[in-house]
Structure 1
Amino acid sequence: TGHLVFSTLHTNDAASAVTRLLDLGIEPYLLASSLSAVLAQRLVRRICPECVEPYVPDQSEVQSLGLADGGEPVPTLWRGRGCDSCRRSGYRERLGVFELLLVNDAVRIQIQSRANATDIRNTAVANGTKLLHEDCREKLLAGKTTAEEVARISPHSQAIQAAE
């Protein structure tokens, strides 16, 4: 009836939310014509600004996070050493990381053909969607959160890699 509706659905990423809705029995033509966007979000702990310090990660940490492929210089990362302001945790407050899938014509075709989440994700990326792990990588390299937080929400199967 033309009403804008916001809803919550628990999935690992934005593309999986589309396939979850299809699995719940929504007809592909209805979903494709009515869905505007899907936002996936996670919260990570923010590094305490009072005690943040840079460090150079060892090679195993760089490899486990997928931050360099061998030819690139090792990036500087950041962590909180712990202070009175953060109660010695090294963290203060939380920060959102996001993945916004805008449903355009290419994604609508994928929905109508009941494509799997991988195909929908690939189509969305080809049309400019920044994935959750890419936003994590940006916030990690900007010194807003730590490698531990990123690894917690972005498992090795979705290793944080530079955008190709």
Structure 2
Amino acid sequence: MIRVRTADGLKAIAVARVRGEAGLQSVASGWLRMSDALKRVFSGSGDIAVSADPSSVSGYSAVAGSAVITTNAVTATPTNGSSPYTYAWTFVSSDGGSWIAKSPTSATTKFTCSGVAAGVDYTATFLCTATDSTGGTGTVEVQATASNLGNLYL
């Protein structure tokens, strides 16, 4: 954490920004030149925005019994950070079934729900956390739906 002395005393800074032609820009790191070397005095990329495409996904089955259903793929895309990025897809909540992210550490993943009875739809929420090379993070939520249409031929 950086502290800056103002007229009101020391203030903690969570995000460093500079004003440029495009407006305020987050600063990934700050350095001071000392007599013998450069010293890092700030590390953190500031605000990372993460979007998901698509923002919701779904998968279908048509079996009389219990089904295991995999959704179509979703891709998380971070901006305003410093690459490379790491990704963590985590389960948040659902109204039923047993859900997992198939590629929980990739930008692109699908979700699988097991235990979907005939005629039942389950919906889940997953959270993707993207972390940049300086430790800055951003998140996006994605809705997933698994539907077992029952003994119906698609």
The reply to whether TM is greater than 0.5 is: no
Q: Per residue, is there more helix in 1 or in 2? A: 1
The structure with more radius of gyration? 2
Q: TM-score, normalised by structure 2?
A: 0.25
Q: TM-score, normalised by structure 1?
A: 0.24
Q: Per residue, is there more strand in 1 or in 2? A: 2
